Amino acid sequence: MREAYIVTSVRTPGCRRSKGAFANTRPEDLLVTALNGLMERSKGVPKDAVEDIMVGCAFPEAEQGLNIGRIAAQMAKFPDATCGATVNRFCASGLEAIALQAMRIKAGWCDVAIGAGLESMSIVPMGGNMPRPHPEWAMENPDVYISMGMTAENVAKRYNITREMQDEFGFNSQMKAAAAQEKGLYTEIVPTPAVSYVYKDGKYEKVIKMQDFDDGVRKDTTLEGLKKLKPAFASTGSVTAGNSSQTTDGAAATLLMSEEAVKKYGLKPIAKVVGYTVAGCRADEMGVGPAYAIPKLLKMFGLKPTDIGLYEINEAFASQAIYSAQQIGLADKKYWAADSDSRIINVNGGAIALGHPLGCTGAKLCAQLMTMMQKKGAKYGVESMCIGGGMGAAALFELCE
């Protein structure tokens, strides 16, 4: 089987749903910016070399429907020969897209492909425009349709993840992200046009400005302030807005190649896509998915948790991220605390600070992981997330020499 190499990986900023810079920016435009930014950074690779663009999207409808993978390819001026598709594995959609393209390359079915992710949570609401659960099935097993927030409460209660633990984790996510912004560490970000409308002289005018940072990071967060927040999903619960992921808008894209293509274009790849897996769990505690997926992935390749130099474990909620770290053998907070030189989990903050644009997140975390694997010289990196409906996904990457 051939190797699949990541050559370039980029993302737009993640901006707050409804209140952030991208609230009025169409999702197609976010994705086009990511795709064009990807190709601009992949110097020497023409657009006509790309055979296929696979886009992950959790709610592929309305403005981000109609096979956004093909539409965005055309909007970004890829040739007609460049195909496109859309894939949905909810929160792992972006990673699924990258994994599918890697598998196609490994199988010898293509040489150059893009895996991407997209979600505009401002324009296409959480749950979609017209969700219709199956009535009889909902009576038999309502957990398939349960609120993600309630699954986080279930995890906290069942596995003794206290409010204090969750708030501390959320605080550290914000501090890591604030420090990374100050140091300019998010070099994978592509400056992105942000649309707004200003009422002037009896009509609305379209205004465009460039957005080059994640606008949900709260550097002034304090533990005292987090403690004052009320539970968001249950009156006596412990999950709050401060220890949950932000809902955001964004897009990300990764260029993958075979060894033959890498040599043809004279490129130095970042990393190899070593493997990918998914694992199922109870729907009413879907957040524990990484606790199943990461051990399964590591076992596939004979690795221990401490063999991995960097982890990106999506912070859908602090409760599930903490429990997942505990279960894979990385319970000590030195592995994720902002003031720890030994931290390897979400080293520059996670979705609590940076946001979780659903179908984009898997591709977004890949871009962040590629950046930091290079900066730190980490041989192995793992990306993982929980998935609505009761699943986890995990991917293993190996840094190229």
Q: Would you please indicate which residues are annotated as catalytic (active-site) residues?
A: 91, 356, 386
> By the 8 A CB rule, do 103 and 243 touch?
no
Write out the chain in H/E/C secondary structure: CCCCEEEEEEECCCEECCCCCCCCCCHHHHHHHHHHHHHHHCCCCCHHHCCEEEEECCCCCHHHCCCHHHHHHHHCCCCCCCEEEEECCHHHHHHHHHHHHHHHHHCCCCCEEEEEEEEECCCCCCCCCCCCCCHHHHHHCHHHHCCHHHHHHHHHHHCCCCHHHHHHHHHHHHHHHHHHHHHCCCCCECCEEEEEEEEECCEEEEEEEEECCCCCCCCCCCHHHHHCCCCCCCCCCCCCHHHECCCEEEEEEEEEECHHHHHHCCCCCCEEEEEEEEEECCHHHHHHHHHHHHHHHHHHCCCCHHHCCEEEECCCEHHHHHHHHHHCCCCCHHHCCCCCCCCCECCCCCHHHHCCCHHHHHHHHHHHHHHHHHHHCCCEEEEEEEECCCEEEEEEEEECC
* Residues 323 and 161: beta-carbon distance below 8 Å: yes
- 8 A C-beta contact, residue 355 and residue 215: no
> Which tokens go with 49?
């070399």
**Selection from 128, 109, 132, 131 nearest residue 119 by Cα:** 128
Q: Tell me the CA distances in angstroms from 75 to 63, 82, 332, one per residue in order.
A: 14, 12, 47
Under 8 Å between Cβ of 382 and 368: no
